């Protein structure tokens, strides 16, 4: 399998994760519908889940619209890769705001490899898209 094809598959995986994982992580009674979440917090939680889903679906549409591997529209592939990157990577910057936390208030902090589990999953989605984009770029430079 070529680098370009692997790159496209990584971008696709990132788009699918963007569209589906927020439903598993946030659309539940431990998060968006938890007793400590007021109406405005639920509004934000719902907006995040729906926004991530819409961006994931848009990225999948862009990948399809880009055409097949023989003559793809690289601009659409780049746009599809950038959507999950700009959606998930900025969550790291939220840690710079005093009083914020990647952990729910009344739950035991979950860490994986020393990182907050929520940030790790978001970083993996963004990194997968970035790796896919990098493979596409490398494939274009090879003879």
Instruction: Note the pLDDT of residue 89.
Output: 95
Q: How many beta carbons lie within 10 A of that of residue 41, not counting itself?
A: 13
More confident residue, 68 or 96: 96
**Nearest Cα residue to 69 out of 138, 143, 8, 135:** 8
> How many domains are there within the chain?
1
**Phi and psi angles of residue 25, each rounded to the nearest 5 degrees, phi first:** -80, -35
Q: pLDDT tens digits, residue range 44-77?
A: 999 999 999 999 999 999 999 999 877 889 999 9
Residue 25 domain boundaries: 3-141
| Relative orientation angle of helices 74-88 and 3-26, to the nearest 10 degrees | 30
User: For 10-22, what is the mean pLDDT?
Assistant: 98
In the chain, what is the straight-line distance between the N-terminal and C-terminal CA atoms, in Å?
A: 16
């Amino acid at each position: 399998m070529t680098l370009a094809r692997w790159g496209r598959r990584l971008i696709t995986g990132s788009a699918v994760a963007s569209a589906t994982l927020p439903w598993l992580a946030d659309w539940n009674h431990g998060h968006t519908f938890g007793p400590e979440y007021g109406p405005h917090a639920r509004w934000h939680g719902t907006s995040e889940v729906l926004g991530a889903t819409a961006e994931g679906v848009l990225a999948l549409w862009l990948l399809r619209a880009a055409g097949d591997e023989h003559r793809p529209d690289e601009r659409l592939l780049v746009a599809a890769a950038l959507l999950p990157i700009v959606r998930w990577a900025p969550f790291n910057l939220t840690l710079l705001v005093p009083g914020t936390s990647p952990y729910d208030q009344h739950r035991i902090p979950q860490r994986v490899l020393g990182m907050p589990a929520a940030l790790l999953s978001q970083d993996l989605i963004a990194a997968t898209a970035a790796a896919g984009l990098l493979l596409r770029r490398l494939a274009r430079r090879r003879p």
